[in-house]
Amino acid sequence: MKGVYQGRERRKFARLDYVTPFDCKVCKKETVSKLLAGYTADISQAGLLCNIKEKVKKEDILWLSFDRSTLAICEELEKKAFIYQNGVIGKVVRILPAAESGYQVGIQFITREESNLTYIYPKVHFLENQFRK
């Protein structure tokens, strides 16, 4: 089994248990005006796991709005994170039904050096225009 990691932790970065509320928006024309609420479960250098009631889709781009102390933690963990309007831009990479209600959503931070710029930046540009209105 060459290439399969056998250690205790399979993730690239350690996760920190961190529970805090946040608001988010899905960066699409039909949903950007709807503010969703949730709370984080844990956070790492590459992203976070959160719980939200509304269903989102894998590959959705989200704008996540935190209080200033949480935003500072995100910036410290991921120096290249794309921070916009007191929020972090992230991509949905995993969705699981939550134990109570809603969904556990894995979000990967989008960095300023994201390799797939043609996919990310049109959505961020759209988000910028929506905030200006």
Q: Which domains does the chain have, with CATH numbers?
A: 16-132 (2.40.10.220)
At 93 the pLDDT is 94
At 128 the pLDDT is 62
Residues of the chain with pLDDT under 70: 1-14, 75, 77-79, 113-133
At 123 the pLDDT is 57
Question: Do strands 87-97 and 83-84 pair parallel, antiparallel, or not at all (unpaired)?
Answer: antiparallel
At 132 the pLDDT is 57
**Contact assessment for residue 49 and residue 41, using Cβ atoms and an 8 Å cutoff:** yes
pTM reported for the whole predicted model:
0.71
At 68 the pLDDT is 75
Q: How far is CA 72 from CA 7, 17, 83, 92, 131, in A?
A: 31, 16, 10, 21, 22
At 118 the pLDDT is 47
